Amino acid sequence: MTEDQIAVFFASSLRLAMPLVLAGAGEMVSERAGVLNMSLEGMMLTATFAGALGSWATGRPAVGLACGVAAALVVAFVQAVLSVTLRANQLVVGIGINILALGGTTFLYREIFGPLSREIIPGFTAWHVPLLGDLPVLGAAFFRQVGLVYVGLAGVVVIWLALEYTAFGLAIRAVGEDPRAADQAGIPVARVRYAGVLVAGAMAGLAGVFISVGDIHTFTEGMTNGQGYLALAAVIFGGWIGWRTLAACLLFGTATALQFQLPAMGIEIPTAGLIMLPYVLALLAVAGLTGRHRPPAALTIPYQRGG
Amino acid sequence: MAILPRALPTAVVLPVAATAAGLLVGVGLVAATGASVREAVAAFWDGMAGSPFAFGASINRAVALTLVGLGFIFANRANLTNVGAEGQLAVGGIAATALALHGAERLPLGLAVAVPLAGGALAGALWGGIAGLLRVRRGTNEVISTLLLTFIALLMVYGSVQSENLLRQPMTSAATLPESLEIPVRTRLPTLLADPSSPLHVGVVLATLATLGVGLVLVKTAFGVRLRAVGFNEVAARRAGIRDGRLVVVALLVAGGLGGLAGAIMIQGEQYILKAGFTSGYGFDGLVVGLLARGSAAGVVAGAVLFGFLRSGGLSMEISAGVPAAVIVVIQGLIVIAVAGSAILAPGRDTR
């Protein structure tokens, strides 16, 4: 590989990993609080559409960002009401939301943009980080991405720190492990779980906006194409631990980049195997074959006081 | 079963109310597009049952959904949530195609049709069984494992039609599509009616038998009672001498087998060609059907027919009335959310 190819490879790996990194970090918080959002895919898809719409309508990508995150938060709120307050089956609710998000965004897209339009929307432009961006190889690989990458990575670190070192983080972990004990200790279980789901929603919103406004600069039907599920797999493979989840997301992003990069370099490999790899790894992880990592004890279990 | 009379009203009322509400929203959306509601409804009806072709195609769709839905309620009786039907369809389709293309054609009697069907069912059962084994041996949540297995299976379909060493048709030019060859005529499901325009095939007989079988096993046999016991309270069931581990595996084997059979039927009954994405969401729709049915085999049939007809009608509405078929997807999503959200109102059953 030439230096250019190496730089392009790392740059595209990071770019393709970014939606997973963002959504995965938020989802990890929610799962640590005991709520599994199968709806992550739907939140992301809603945000890709709302972000694209906002940016297209106003000509300002920043407005798109706000719209996308707000829309994902609405979806997250629906998930929270159903799975925390109404104690509905979290997974079924998530699947329902994903179906609804796919139908809703496709419907609105066709009504607003017309079928099969590939209208280019105003997107974020790459930020050439001063000094660092001029480094050989490293500069082109890591320091000429859109600003959302750096903001997002900073957000991920803030999330880890908050989860480990703040009272809020402790409350999240407590309601995810033993909601009854947490309740008796005076922690408002429902409210903390709402907060967890909303954190997942906000981060999934950033992830979705990154895809449409930050990266591709258009919207297509079903654009997230399973990346929400891939982020769920990354959280599992990461064993519900911050840095491991980040590593899993980067690994999955790299696997995706490889399927484009290897054929470009003339290496013929079965791409299906590469795309499959993340799911196989996640399956091995949940089967406990890659080290023992225990899910939060109350994951997917609704809490009812006195119940 | 004593609780049936009391449980029946909510079990019927909730899904029906959810469906009605979803349809109302759908009509509202159609109106919002500025299309004529009457035209859209007419196109919808044409697509569902307006011709022998439309009716046959709708019923064939319902067949696949019925089998998947039956699998869902079977495993759910043991309180297992099988969300992996899409993947079970996929591996069933791969196995059926492979058998149909390699050898089954020469078999005598009905075996040319039956062997690929059985192979599909076996492959699906294996796929479900993996999740069962992981649950019993490693304590892995079956929701997560069946979902991950689904993605792996979908990518296996994609991969198997990428290479000529697997199932891809021989490459004669650069434009050769990544799909399998058409399966031989002798391995296709026979159609039922003399009318050549009707695609209605014997799958509907298989689905009927499966419905009766699952219904009887769940309601009338000791096995059904054991499944239910494990579903209600694993610890108590174990104390009563029920080997719950084996039941969990069997429940997911059966669910997967029904899904695999449905996948084989989709290939041998209608599509005749294996290609990436051939399952096109039937597994997830079937899951929704199973969920709506609340454990009743008759409910599965009702839901499957509803969704089969909805899908057909939606396609026709898009083609002749210009209303996006996505409206149907919205309706389905709303129904799932409404049913899941109102489970708190239903007596008895655990929401997990």
pLDDT, one tens digit per residue, over A13-33 is: 999 999 999 999 999 999 999
Compare B295 and A170 and report the one with higher pLDDT. A170
Compare B291 and B118 and report the one with higher pLDDT. B118
The answer to whether the Cβ–Cβ distance between B333 and A103 falls below 8 Å is yes
Contacts of A73 (CB under 8 A, 6+ apart): A198, A201, A202, A205
Q: Give A104's contacts in chain B (Cβ within 8 Å).
A: 326, 330, 333
Tell me the HSE value of B104 on the side-chain side, using a 13 A CA sphere.
25
Q: Which CATH number does the domain housing residue B165 bear?
A: 1.10.3470
Range A275-300 average pLDDT: 80
Domain that holds residue B293: 4-345
Range of weakest confidence among A64-78, B1-15, B300-314: B1-15
Domain total for chain B?
Answer: 1
Contacts of B170 (CB under 8 A, 6+ apart): B164, B176, B181
Decide if pLDDT at A83 tops 60: yes
Measured CA to CA, the distance from residue B68 to residue B286 in angstroms comes to 5
Contacts of B153 (CB under 8 A, 6+ apart): B84, B86, B87, B88, B90, B91, B127
The string of DSSP codes covering A21-32 is HHHHHHHHHHHH
As a three-state string, the secondary structure of A100-144 is: HHHHHHHHHHHHHHCCCCCCCCCCCCECCCCCHHHCCCHHHHHCC
B35 to chain A: closest CA residue: A111
For residue B351, tell me if it sits in a domain: no
Distance from CA of B69 to the nearest CA of A (A): 14
For residue B350, tell me if it sits in a domain: no
Residue B67 one-letter amino acid = L
Decide if pLDDT at B7 tops 70: no
Q: What does the pLDDT read at residue B17?
A: 86
Going by pLDDT thresholds of 50, 70 and 90, the confidence category of residue B342 is confident
pLDDT, one tens digit per residue, over A116-173 is: 677 788 888 888 888 788 887 777 878 888 888 998 899 999 999 999 999 999 999 9
Average pLDDT of chain A is: 89
pLDDT, one tens digit per residue, over B59-96 is: 999 999 999 999 999 999 988 989 899 999 999 999 99
Q: What does the pLDDT read at residue B32?
A: 86
Burial of B257 (0-12, 13-18, 19+ CB in 10 A): buried
Average pLDDT of chain B is: 87
Q: What domains are there in chain A, each with its CATH number?
A: 3-116+145-286 (1.10.3470)
Q: What does the pLDDT read at residue B1?
A: 43
Q: What does the pLDDT read at residue B234?
A: 72
Q: What does the pLDDT read at residue B350?
A: 44
Decide if pLDDT at B174 tops 80: no
Range A97-108 average pLDDT: 94
Decide if pLDDT at B351 tops 70: no
Q: Please, which residues bridge with residue B191 across strands?
A: B201
Compare B12 and A244 and report the one with higher pLDDT. A244
For residue B206, tell me if it sits in a domain: yes
Distance from CA of B325 to the nearest CA of A (A): 8
Compare A233 and B5 and report the one with higher pLDDT. A233
The answer to whether the Cβ–Cβ distance between B141 and A111 falls below 8 Å is no
- B86, B281 contact by CB (below 8 A): yes
Range A101-122 average pLDDT: 86
Chain A to chain B Cβ contacts (< 8 Å): 145
Decide if pLDDT at B213 tops 50: yes
CA torsion sign for A266, A267, A273, A274 is negative
CB contacts under 8 A, A 101-120 vs B, are 101-104, 106-107, 110-111, 115
Among A286, A289, A301, A303, most B C-beta atoms within 10 A, so best to mutate, is A286
Q: What does the pLDDT read at residue B43?
A: 87
Range B208-237 average pLDDT: 86
Q: What does the pLDDT read at residue B346?
A: 67
And the tokens for A198? 């909303």
Q: Of B160, B2, B16, B341, whose CA–CA distance to A100 is shortest? A: B341
Q: What does the pLDDT read at residue A290?
A: 63
Any CB–CB contact under 8 A between A153 and chain B?
Answer: no
Q: Give B284's contacts in chain A (Cβ within 8 Å).
A: 95, 99
Residue B20 one-letter amino acid = A
Count Cβ atoms below 10 Å from residue B95 Cβ, excluding itself.
Answer: 25
Q: What does the pLDDT read at residue B6?
A: 52
Measured CA to CA, the distance from residue B87 to residue A41 in angstroms comes to 18
Q: Give B143's contacts in chain A (Cβ within 8 Å).
A: 91, 300
The answer to whether the Cβ–Cβ distance between B151 and A107 falls below 8 Å is no
- A199, A159 contact by CB (below 8 A): yes
Q: What does the pLDDT read at residue A307?
A: 54
- B166, B160 contact by CB (below 8 A): yes
- B261, B124 contact by CB (below 8 A): yes
Where helices occur in chain A by DSSP H, the ranges are 3-32, 40-58, 61-80, 90-113, 138-142, 147-165, 167-177, 179-184, 189-209, 227-237, 242-264, 271-286
Q: What does the pLDDT read at residue B116?
A: 96
- B64, B282 contact by CB (below 8 A): yes
CA torsion sign for A63, A65, A69, A71 is positive
Point out the residue among B33, B288, B329 whose CB comes nearest to the CB of A103: B329
- A131, A1 contact by CB (below 8 A): no
For residue B352, tell me if it sits in a domain: no
Any CB–CB contact under 8 A between A277 and chain B?
Answer: no
Range B292-308 average pLDDT: 90
Q: What does the pLDDT read at residue A161?
A: 93
Q: What does the pLDDT read at residue A260?
A: 76
Burial of A28 (0-12, 13-18, 19+ CB in 10 A): buried
For residue B262, tell me if it sits in a domain: yes
Distance from CA of B222 to the nearest CA of A (A): 28
B145 to chain A: closest CA residue: A283
Tell me the HSE value of A174 on the side-chain side, using a 13 A CA sphere.
19
Range B255-267 average pLDDT: 97
Q: Give A301's contacts in chain B (Cβ within 8 Å).
A: 352
Measured CA to CA, the distance from residue B211 to residue B127 in angstroms comes to 21
Which single residue is written with the structure tokens 């997230």?
A224
Task: Give ipTM to 2 decimals.
Answer: 0.89
Measured CA to CA, the distance from residue B297 to residue B47 in angstroms comes to 26
Distance from CA of B96 to the nearest CA of A (A): 20
pLDDT above 70 coverage of chain B, percent? 95
Q: What does the pLDDT read at residue B238?
A: 73
Q: What does the pLDDT read at residue B317?
A: 84
pLDDT above 90 coverage of chain B, percent? 40
Measured CA to CA, the distance from residue A295 to residue A200 in angstroms comes to 17
Q: What's the start-to-end Cα distance of chain A, in Å?
A: 61
